[in-house]
Amino acid sequence: MPDVLTSEQRRLNMSRIRGRNTKPEILLRRGLHAKGLRFRLYRKDLPGSPDLTFPRFHAVIFVHGCFWHGHGCHLFHWPSTNKVFWRQKVGRNIKRDEEVLETLTAERWRVCEVWECALRGSGRMEIEPLLSMIKRWLHGKAGRLSIPDKVRKQARSREHRSSL
Ligand SMILES: [Zn+2]
């Protein structure tokens, strides 16, 4: 591929490369481990290679970066340049997340999404209540959990309207 990335794209690509083992993710992992929960990392044999897998609970956790996964929260902003490129890229990620979720659910996996904005930035949660919420979910019966749960799930629709 020719070297046509803008500096903004390069910065965002770098932030994607750092998408695993990020500081908030490690904080979350340490906390869950300290609560006696045991998990495996990035299982490649499962759809989407979940960040954490809890075999005992038949449950997985994804820690989603709000930009890459198109979260409709205050951390998400469309880049001002190469709009088509970013819409396609983020749009593909959103579609892929939906497919992964469908496949895992069909295989009776329970799925928790922890969004970056729950761990970082002005809206972040205290770590203890966050860990307790996850622990309760693991021991409970609910199939799905999204943290935070009040945010509009996708950045997509609003952005489509405003671009018209
Ligand atoms: Zn978010």
CA of 107 to the centre of ligand 1 (A): 27
**Region of poorest pLDDT, from 51-60, 74-83, 152-161:** 152-161
Q: What's the token pair of residue 126?
A: 């205290």
Q: How far is the CA of 1 from the centre of ligand 1 (A)?
A: 31
- Find the 83 Cα to ligand 1 centroid distance in Å: 20
Ligand 1 center–CA 3 separation, angstroms: 30
115 Cα to the center of ligand 1, angstroms: 5
Q: Which residues contact 64 (CB under 8 A, 6 or more apart)?
A: 71, 97, 113, 114, 115, 116
The residue written with tokens 């490690």 in the block is 26
Tell me the helices (H) and strands (E) count for the chain, helix number first: 6, 5
> What's the pLDDT at 157?
47
CA of 145 from ligand 1 middle (Å) equals 14
**pLDDT of 65-83, one tens digit each?**
999 999 999 999 999 999 9
- Predicted local confidence at residue 23, as pLDDT: 79
pLDDT band at 59 (very low <50, low <70, confident <90, very high): very high
Q: Is the peptide bond before 148 cis (omega within 30 degrees of 0)?
A: yes
Q: How many residues does the chain have?
A: 164
